[in-house]
Amino acid sequence: MSTATKIPHAAAATATAFDVEKVRRDFPVLHQKVHGKPLVYLDNAATTQKPLSVIEAIEYYYRHDNSNIHRGVHALSERATADYEKVRAAAQRFLNARDAKEIIFVRGTTEAINLVAQSYGRKHVGPGDEVLITAMEHHSNIVPWQMLCDEKGARLRVAPINDRGELLLDEFEKLLGPKTRIAAVSHLSNALGTINPVREMTRMAHARNIPVLVDGAQAAPRLPVDVQALDCDFYAMSGHKMYGPTGIGVLYGKAELLEAMPPYQGGGDMIASVTFEKTVYNKLPYKFEAGTPNIADTIGFGAALAYLETLGLEAIERHEHDVLSYATRAIEAIPGVTIVGTASEKSGVLSFTMDGIHPHDIGTILDREGIAVRTGHHCAQPVMQRFGIPATARASFGLYNTREEVDALVAGIHKVIEVLG
- Which residues sit at the interface with other proteins, rule CB under 8 A? 356-361, 364-365, 368, 375-377, 381, 384, 390-391, 419-420
Query: In the complex with other proteins, which residue's Cβ is closer, 77 or 381?
Result: 381
CB of 375 to other proteins, least distance (A): 7
CB of 73 to other proteins, least distance (A): 48
Report how far residue 336's alpha carbon sits from residue 348's, in angstroms, rounded to the nearest whole number. 22
CB 250 within 8 A of CB 104: yes
Query: In the complex with other proteins, which residue's Cβ is closer, 76 or 143?
Result: 143
Residues 207, 209, 215: CA angle, nearest 5 degrees: 95
Query: In the complex with other proteins, which residue's Cβ is closer, 335 or 356?
Result: 356
Report how far residue 223's alpha carbon sits from residue 50's, in angstroms, rounded to the nearest whole number. 18
- Beta-strand ranges (E) seen in 28-162 are 33-34, 37-38, 40-41, 103-106, 130-134, 155-159
Query: In the complex with other proteins, which residue's Cβ is closer, 203 or 358?
Result: 358
Query: In the complex with other proteins, which residue's Cβ is closer, 410 or 420?
Result: 420
Report how far residue 380's alpha carbon sits from residue 398's, in angstroms, rounded to the nearest whole number. 20
CB of 36 to other proteins, least distance (A): 10
CB of 376 to other proteins, least distance (A): 5
| Catalytic hit among 131, 337, 379, 393 | 379
For residue 161, give the DSSP letter. B
Q: Which residues pair with 357 in a beta bridge?
A: 354
The string of DSSP letters for 184-214 reads EEESB-TTT-BBP-HHHHHHHHHTTT--EEE
337 half-sphere exposure, CB direction, 13 A CA radius: 24
- The stretches of 96-225 forming alpha helices (DSSP H) are 109-116, 122-124, 143-152, 169-175, 198-206
CB of 355 to other proteins, least distance (A): 11
379 catalytic, yes or no? Answer: yes
Query: In the complex with other proteins, which residue's Cβ is closer, 92 or 375?
Result: 375
- The stretches of 207-254 forming alpha helices (DSSP H) are 227-230
Query: In the complex with other proteins, which residue's Cβ is closer, 57 or 409?
Result: 409
Query: In the complex with other proteins, which residue's Cβ is closer, 1 or 34?
Result: 34
CB of 390 to other proteins, least distance (A): 4
Measured in Å, how far apart are the chain's first and last C-alpha atoms? 56
Contacts of 100 (CB under 8 A, 6+ apart): 85, 88, 89, 92, 285
Handedness of CA 241, 243, 246, 251 (dihedral sign): negative
Report how far residue 90's alpha carbon sits from residue 320's, in angstroms, rounded to the nearest whole number. 23
CB of 367 to other proteins, least distance (A): 9
Report how far residue 15's alpha carbon sits from residue 46's, in angstroms, rounded to the nearest whole number. 26
Give the residue among 218, 227, 233 at the shortest CA–CA distance from 317: 218
CB of 110 to other proteins, least distance (A): 17
List active site positions: 379
